[in-house]
Amino acid sequence: SVGANVWHLLGHFHFYLTVKLLADQFIIMELSRYGIHGIVPSHGSILYSLLQYESLTMSELSDKINKDPSTVTTLVKKLELLGYVKVYKDSRDKRISRVKLTRKGDTFKNIFENISEAMYKIQYRNMSEEEILTLKNLLEKLVANFYC
């Protein structure tokens, strides 16, 4: 019945939220071990993108992290306030704002790698390589279903 499907879906949604909450808490805890405060997991996708590129426009950042421009602006402003990024006007088109990491922001590369490795070990603990691959494939299918 429709009602049963809704409750089933809500159960999956609760599970997803629990996993996300636990992952976010882990990231914040790990960042604090490195003496980093004021950064939340939603800043991570911006920092990660900027670690891969010398600079990005706000629009490019928005596309890369799949968040609306106003959210990106808010996140970038906080990172700029904390000294991790610099926002500046594009040299060819002054209407365009670009974002790049500061020296302080560059320090995140090793920290990201260390936290990612620790998280990988925790989330896949007690899982075989086959189970990890199966999980990855099932999650890819789940995401693909939303694009059909």
Instruction: Dump pLDDT digits (tens) for 73-109.
Output: 999 999 999 999 999 999 999 999 999 999 999 988 8
For the chain, the distance separating the N- and C-terminal CA atoms, rounded to the nearest angstrom, is: 24
* Model pLDDT, residue 61: 96
Residue 17 has pLDDT above 90, yes or no: no
Instruction: Specify the pTM.
Output: 0.78
How many Cβ atoms are within 10 Å of 36's Cβ, its own excluded?
16
Instruction: Dump pLDDT digits (tens) for 26-66.
Output: 999 999 999 998 898 889 999 999 999 989 999 999 999 99
* Model pLDDT, residue 127: 96
Element (H, E) at 82: none
* Model pLDDT, residue 64: 94
Confidence of residue 2 (pLDDT cuts 50, 70, 90): low
* Model pLDDT, residue 7: 62
> Stretch 20-24: mean pLDDT, rounded?
91
CA distances from 62 to 3, 45, 67 (A): 37, 10, 5
Distance of CA 5 to the CA centre of its chain: 30
Pick the range with the lowest mean pLDDT from 12-16, 27-31, 114-118, 120-124.
Answer: 12-16
Residue 13 has pLDDT above 80, yes or no: no
